[in-house]
Structure 1
Amino acid sequence: MSLRTDLVTAVLGVWFGIGLMIDAWAHSNLDGELETFFTPWHAAFYSGFAAVSGWIIWQVWRNVRAGRQGLAAVPQGYLAGLVAVPAFAAFGFADMMWHTLLGIETTIDILFSPSHLGLVTSMLIIITTPLRSAWNAPDVGARPTLGRLLPALIGLAFATTLVSLFLSYGDALQWRAPRVVEAFSFLDNGGADRLATTIALTNIVLLAPVLLLVRRWRLPFGSVTLMYALAVLMPGAQTAFDNVPILLSVVAGGLAADLLILWLRPSAGRRFAFWAFAGLSSFATWSLYLGFASATGGGLPGIPEMWTGAPIVAGLIGLLLGALFLPNATGQGDLVDPPVDDRA
């Protein structure tokens, strides 16, 4: 598909994703007012689904009218998204029936509802369509420009927000700066345990999509900053953006990751550079997280072992994740050749 087509797909996916963020904001901040499935928040969400699914179906229909038949009518990278469209509609109907018969979830149970899990899984497949399209596109190349890779970055970043939403109970980006400082200042209230756990989990959620892209392409400068800036929108919506310093620290972590890519040049053919990037970018992100929290939340936490050791633990987890993504160099030099064509 052309860049323009993928960009439209990505923009409509943004509509879809922001609709979910609005719904997440409502569930987090208007608990007592959600008594029915038919709400303005659901309207924003499902209208986004209608827009992006209609666009995907239209691309297939155009090819059918041009004489292509069967799978040949499905644009490269769009098959999985096309299959996910009716799946999402089915889970949407199931969600309506679930709410009608069993009521509206208002706490952590919303993240474990079977209909919601089906919705988020099919939604993730739909909004990552531009990524799959770009993965094998002949005009992308091993060193794409930021503009050419933009639809893929947007799609994967919004997919990251979906994962963070359904792991909200372990999301370090929802903490406010004073609470971060307090948690790492005392050991007897359980706050330090909870914060350390959420940092470890959120580190994986943020880093894994980046490592996937770094393994495939030499990312242009600004890619990780853009992805992290989009990734913080979901926890921002859930907290009504009451924790802006924490969110900004993660965006700063994305900038640090972009600088590390310029310095280390990580790729599938440079295993040790890839591992170093995974570890150092995690260390930088969570050092900035604690630095921003300390600067805006009342000073350094009271337990030096926690605020000095937490970024190191994050870096070690990043290093391990890098080794899992790339246990061996590909032997294909600095960058990887395009993989075999796969329409899904």
Structure 2
Amino acid sequence: MLTTNRGISGLLADSGEARPRVSYRTDLVTALLGVWFGIGLMIDAWAHSNLAELETFFTPWHAAFYSGFAAVSGWIMWQVLRNVRTGRRGVAAVPVGYLAGLLAIPGFALFGLADMTWHTVLGIEQNIDILFSPSHLGLVATMALIISTPVRSAWSGLGTRPTLGQLVPALISLAFATTLVSLFLSYGDALQWSAEGIVRVFSDVEGGAAGDLASSMVITNVVLLAPALLLARRWELPFGAITLLYAVIVLMPGAQEQFENVSTLLSIVAGGLVADLLIRWLRPSASRRGAFWAFAALSALATWTIYVLTASAISGLPAVPELWTGAPIVAGLIGLLLGVLFLPNNVRHEAAA
């Protein structure tokens, strides 16, 4: 027993070297395995939203989800083990950006066990209660740390002007992490609305449905814009970065609605394209505060204007002009406030290590 304890202590004791960095290929594999993990969750979310009878924890949907966890976790642990074999110990064996994901792995496993116990004792949730289950909240928090690993790896490893190809692992992983937020705020997700529903509720100020949609637009605006501003604060983004980000983010609400809301989803992707055009024009960065603020406001305004106009083109113009004209302006103002919060002062970009 004493020998075992010494062996564990020897592995955990830091050997003192500077932490290594992984290659682009390694980050890309981590991101792609995170896609498996994320799509597994989307399949499971679809099943909970659309299948009437789910009576057991052991389903094909959970198998897709947890196999993704096993794949990406095994890959992260392998990166650490490779460094241990070279003589590194403790934190010195963990690549830059990979520590939080590594620590989240046992946490996710414990929450998975808790989730199985919860379902066995209390049954399977299929309504809004699924979004408030303590075991589910623990799973999504630890999952976010795992699949966002390539973002943290790229944060200090890429220069301020990466190409789109160089940024792909970070974009994919951040986008899938954002889908987790989208999933657990589904009760306020404007992307789940159909064109017909948008026009119908913005044509009637009675009953509270218009307020529900307007509130959902506010929540979803923040969920979409926050990762875009995070990226723009760190890097001078290449064209296509926000389009790719938004194209991945819309997959979760699409899966939950069996992609019956495809016109709404496409309007958001179009908003991402406009955001990329604004980046090319304004060149927002951490050292260009005014351009950053303008990008935050204008990209939000454009995205939600396209959202409303797309619904109107399909189902007719809403009857209450204050709602369909004012809601995108509210989004733009919130975008401006987010821009101020993300970048209150000009800062100098750090040179890549």
Q: TM range, normalised to the smaller chain?
A: over 0.9
Which of 103, 128, 149 is matched with 1:129 structurally?
149
TM-score by length of 2: 0.93
Which of 182, 200, 215 is matched with 1:182 structurally?
200
Deviation string, structure 1 residues 82-130 (Cα, Å, up to 9, x no partner): 0000000000000000001111111000000000000000000000000
Question: After the TM superposition, which residues 74-153 of structure 1 pair with which residues of structure 2 at under 5 Å, given as runs?
Answer: 74-137=94-157, 140-153=158-171
Which of 309, 326, 334 is matched with 1:317 structurally?
334
> Is 2:253 the counterpart of 1:240?
no
Amino acid at match of 2:318: P
Amino acid at match of 1:290: V
Structure number, greater radius of gyration: 2
Rounded to whole Å, the distance in 2 between the matches of 1:42 and 1:253 is 33
Which of 32, 40, 64 is matched with 1:44 structurally?
64
> Is 2:15 the counterpart of 1:2?
no
Partner SS, residue 287 of structure 2: coil
Question: 5+ residue gaps in structure 1?
Answer: none
> Is 2:73 the counterpart of 1:53?
yes
Partner residue in 1 for 2:289:
271
Deviation string, structure 1 residues 257-291 (Cα, Å, up to 9, x no partner): 00000000001111111000000000000000001
TM-score by length of 1: 0.95
Identity rate, percent: 73
Where do 4+ consecutive residues of structure 1 move more than 6 Å?
none
Rounded to whole Å, the distance in 1 between the matches of 2:154 and 2:337 is 28
Cα deviation, residue 337, structure 1? 1.4
Partner residue in 2 for 1:194:
212
Partner residue in 1 for 2:319:
302
Question: 5+ residue gaps in structure 2?
Answer: 1-21
Between the two proteins, the alignment pairs up a number of residues equal to 332
Rounded to whole Å, the distance in 2 between the matches of 1:33 and 1:14 is 27
> Is 2:299 the counterpart of 1:281?
yes
Cα deviation, residue 33, structure 1? 1.7
Deviation string, structure 1 residues 318-337 (Cα, Å, up to 9, x no partner): 0001001111111x3xxx11
Deviation string, structure 1 residues 8-59 (Cα, Å, up to 9, x no partner): 00000000000000000001100x2200100000000000000000000000
Rounded to whole Å, the distance in 2 between the matches of 1:50 and 1:243 is 32
Greater relative contact order structure (CA < 8 Å, 6+ sep) = 1
Rounded to whole Å, the distance in 1 between the matches of 2:41 and 2:89 is 35
Cα deviation, residue 70, structure 1? 1.2
Rounded to whole Å, the distance in 2 between the matches of 1:83 and 1:160 is 20
Rounded to whole Å, the distance in 2 between the matches of 1:14 and 1:232 is 14
Amino acid at match of 2:151: L
